[in-house]
Amino acid sequence: MIHITLPDGSVKTFEENVTPMDVAKSISEGFARNVISANFNNTTIETTTPLTTDGSLVLYTWRDAAGKTAFWHSSAHVLAQAIEELYDGAKLTIGPAIENGFYYDVDFGEHTVSEKDFKAIETKMLEIARGKHDFKMRSATKAEALALYKGNEFKTELIENLEDGTITFCDHSTFTDLCRGGHIPNTGIIKAVKVLSVAGAYWRGDENKQQLTRVYGISFPKQKELTEYLEMLEEAKKRDHRKLGKELELFTFSQKVGQGLPLWLPKGAALRERLENFLKAAQKKAGYEMVVTPHIGQKELYVTSGHYAKYGEDSFQPIHTPKEDEEFLLKPMNCPHHCEIYKSSQWSYKDLPKRFAEFGTVYRYEQSGELHGLTRVRGFTQDDAHLFCTPDQLDEEFKNVIDLVLYVFGSLGFENFTAQVSVRDPENPDKYIGDVENWEKAEQAIINAANDKGLDYVIETGEAAFYGPKLDFMVKDALGRRWQLGTIQVDYNLPERFELTYKGSDNELHRPIMIHRAPFGSMERFVALLLEHTGGNFPLWLMPTQAIILSISEKYEKYSEKVLNLLENDEIRALVDHRNETIGKKIREAEMQKHPYMIIIGEQEEQERKITVRKHGGEDLGMISIEDFSEIVKEEISKTLKTF
């Protein structure tokens, strides 16, 4: 007999070789009908895998993230089979599940796949799915695997890097694929599929290797869910930050300047400045000091910090000076520079904590295929700060940073978020620097702070930065998509590597602890997320123009200018549309530009010294005094801009 522990802590006893599906049926036949994947002792397995030892079992349904992973991984197999049957000579490579759906990278040879082919692929996938073919895992020798993929250099390369005795395949229908496992019971669970797009992708992400075609898809257990997802995608297209950024004249890109290097237009620059000033004001209250560091640094700086070893391949090529053997790098991170600022003085424990903040621009070389609007760029500005404190101060400082992040989220309308405590993977110590004891202390400090603040958090193993664990905030936007936004990290290692010290009350030198934090993350990515979350309808306090004054004709320009001056005296950002256009056209274009308030000026307004106000979206506030309008604006701002 074996003992199976379930997530609620209960223990059930079964005969050896019981399967996860058998366990599910012992709980409830109804529950078992919904189980599509399982995990035993932290390893993903099939629902038909025989269990032979005591252990912990988790059963997943479609509603679980791990269940969706198994569903989409299995769907990738069905996509691969459809492609193989439709395109003679196509060579399959790899096809994983991703956050929303799955993809398969394929060498189509002489074939070209485009949007016009999507329907045929979908039809073939559904035909396969309706066969209700079981997914079955089997082991194979290296020789058998190589023989199966003779002529497919991609699969052969993968197999050559595997050890004999560790190679497994998954079979369903007439199709087989090299696979580690983690599938749904059978293809019949897949009821709705959609091929979303195709794109170029280099084999194994190496731009020096062959370019393949990546086919993206998504699938669901119900047609209704696919319909809802496609409706969400349509809404996402309307909210695409690249589209809105162009329409609102916030930023642009230039091939001559270079890919992944955004150019901020006047309205976008003003938006960034307001965001920076907003955070600077909060930081000043919290005792931060602003610093400025160069855009480049000597290679040795990043060797010392460890960034060169970890990020050297993703950096731009070194900058060589006329001096022999002298190399500089474009700054990939601000933290080494801030360590040197701290080191420029000798501090006492009475001086700590020191909180250095900077809106520092950094540079990393991203492959052109990975670039995407403002969310993936080669040059970006971090709202970076580094706090240097004593061990006794760590808990309070970390909690204060959490408060700052929550203030930012609240003022910008991000109410739906969870936290993620990202810790090291003890199985891969080479990924990290520093000793285990300091890592354990840092991880526990983050967990304690998250508990004390009542955060809803999960612990993710292997997601830590190379120098320390971190608390990441995962925000859901208006469309339900998850974004990593804002991070706080505890670091014992950089102070050690840079030999940072402070004099303690015992007159001895001690190492400070370093906290890294960036509530926005980067200005570029944050603006992109904010655009897509709000659809360009930013909180009123942040809008480039809070009100636009539309005069019915040139006769009322003088009064329009007077209204503008009065609003500006009340610190309301407004402008006048002087163009000789119809009022209807001015209103339509003001709506397109997402101006929160439209102030219409005509004969009656001038005579009564009032204004007619219309809100973005069509709500008519009627004719009111300028003073009343100012109060409306101030009240709306006070509701959204939180107090820190």
pLDDT number for residue 316:
85
Distance of CA 231 to the CA centre of its chain: 22
pLDDT in tens, 349-358: 999 999 999 9
Indicate if 516 belongs to the active site.
Answer: yes
> Six-digit token pair at 579?
């163009």
Average pLDDT over residues 485-497: 91
pLDDT, tens digit, 9 for 90 and up, residues 274-286? 999 999 999 999 9
What is the pLDDT at residue 430? 84
User: Which residues lie closer than 8 Å to 434 by C-beta, 6 or more apart?
Assistant: 467, 468, 492, 493, 496
Percent of the chain with pLDDT over 70: 100
Tell me the pLDDT tens digit for each residue of 26-43.
999 999 999 999 999 999
Question: Tell me, what DSSP letter sits at residue 370?
Answer: G
Q: What is the pLDDT of residues 61-81, one digit of tens each?
A: 999 999 999 999 999 999 999
What is each CA distance from 347 to 115, 290, 354, 444, 503, in whole angstroms?
Answer: 63, 18, 9, 27, 6
Judge whether residue 217 has pLDDT over 80: yes
Give the DSSP letter of residue 115: G
* Residues of each annotated binding site: 335, 386, 516
Q: Which residue out of 299, 386, 424, 525 is catalytically annotated?
A: 386
- 382 is a catalytic site residue: yes
Among the listed residues 91, 516, 525, 586, the single catalytic one is 516
Give the largest Cα separation in the chain, rounded.
93
With cut-offs at 50, 70 and 90, classify the pLDDT of residue 466.
confident
Q: What is the 3-state secondary structure (H, E, C) of 271-339?
A: HHHHHHHHHHHHHHHCCCEECCCCCEEEHHHHHHHCHHHHHHHHCCCCEECCCCCCEEEECCCCHHHHH
Confidence category of residue 189, pLDDT binned at 50, 70, 90: very high
Contact 522, 485 (CB under 8 A): no
Residue 401, H or E segment: helix 391-411
- Write the CB contacts of 277 (distance below 8 Å, at least 6 apart in sequence): none
Q: What is the mean pLDDT of residues 201-216?
A: 92
Can you read off the two tokens belonging to residue 272? 């960034």
pLDDT surpasses 80 at 313:
no
Asked whether residue 320 carries a pLDDT value surpassing 90, the answer given is no
Q: Which band of pLDDT confidence, cut at 50, 70 and 90, is reported for residue 333?
A: very high
d(CA 24, CA 585): 63
Q: Residue 482: its pLDDT value, please? A: 86
Q: What is the pLDDT of residue 152?
A: 96
Task: Please check the confidence at residue 479 and state whether its pLDDT lies above 90.
Answer: no
Q: What is the mean pLDDT of residues 563-567?
A: 94
pLDDT at 366: 87
pTM for the model stands at 0.79
The helix/strand count (H/E) of the chain reads as 20, 34
pLDDT value of residue 34: 95
573: confidence class by pLDDT, cuts 50, 70, 90: very high
Closest CA to 64 of 38, 101, 94: 38
Residue 435: pLDDT band by 50, 70, 90 thresholds?
Answer: confident
Q: Phi, psi (5° rounding) for residue 356?
A: -100, 125
61 contacts 35 by C-beta, under 8 angstroms = yes
Mean residue pLDDT of the chain comes to: 93
pLDDT for res 22: 95
- Is residue 241 part of the annotated active site? The answer reads no
For residues 565 and 572, what is the distance between their CA atoms, to the nearest angstrom?
10
Q: Is pLDDT above 90 for 210?
A: yes
Q: CA end-to-end span of the chain, whole Å?
A: 60
172 in catalytic set: no
Residue from 335, 393, 577, 594 carrying the catalytic annotation: 335
**Confidence at 367, pLDDT banded by 50, 70, 90:** confident
Question: Exposure string (b/e) for 328-345, b if CB count within 10 Å is 16 or more?
Answer: bbbbbbbbbbbbbbbeee
DSSP letter for 477, please.
Answer: -
386 is catalytic: yes
Region 192-220 average pLDDT = 94
Half-sphere exposure of 42 (CA within 13 A, CB side): 2
Q: What is the mean pLDDT of residues 460-480?
A: 88
Q: Give the model's confidence band at 220: pLDDT under 50 very low, under 70 low, under 90 confident, else very high.
A: very high
Q: pLDDT by residue (tens digit) across 127-180?
A: 999 999 999 999 999 999 999 999 999 999 999 999 988 999 999 999 999 999
**Which one is catalytic: 155, 470, 573, 594?**
470
- DSSP alpha helices (H): ranges in 135-292? 142-148, 153-160, 223-239, 241-247, 266-285
Residue 183 and residue 36 in contact, taking contact as beta carbons nearer than 8 Å: no
Weakest mean pLDDT among 91-105, 124-138, 201-215: 201-215
E strand or H helix at 76, and its extent? helix 65-86
Binding residues for Zn(2+): 335, 386, 516
Q: What is the DSSP string of 557-610?
A: HHHHHHHHHHHHHTT--EEEE--S--HHHHHHHHHHTT-SEEEEE-HHHHHHT-
Catalytic residue selected from 107, 384, 477, 491: 384
If DSSP codes are grouped into helix, strand and coil, which group holds residue 435?
coil
Provide the pLDDT confidence category of residue 399 given band limits of 50, 70 and 90: very high
- Rg over alpha carbons for the chain, rounded to the nearest Å, is 29
pLDDT at 238: 92
Determine the pLDDT at residue 528. Answer: 95
pLDDT-based confidence at residue 486 (cuts at 50, 70, 90):
confident
* DSSP letter assigned to residue 468: B
Digit-coded pLDDT (tens) for 248-270? 999 999 999 999 999 999 999 99
User: Active-site residue among 364, 595, 610, 614?
Assistant: 364
Q: Summarize pLDDT for 42-52 with one digit per residue, the tens.
A: 999 999 999 99
In this prediction, residue 587 has a pLDDT band, given cuts at 50, 70 and 90, of very high
State yes or no: is 595 an active-site residue.
no
Active site residue 283: no
User: How far apart are alpha carbons 397 and 488 in whole angstroms?
Assistant: 11
Residue whose entry in the numeric block shows the structure tokens 């612990």: 459
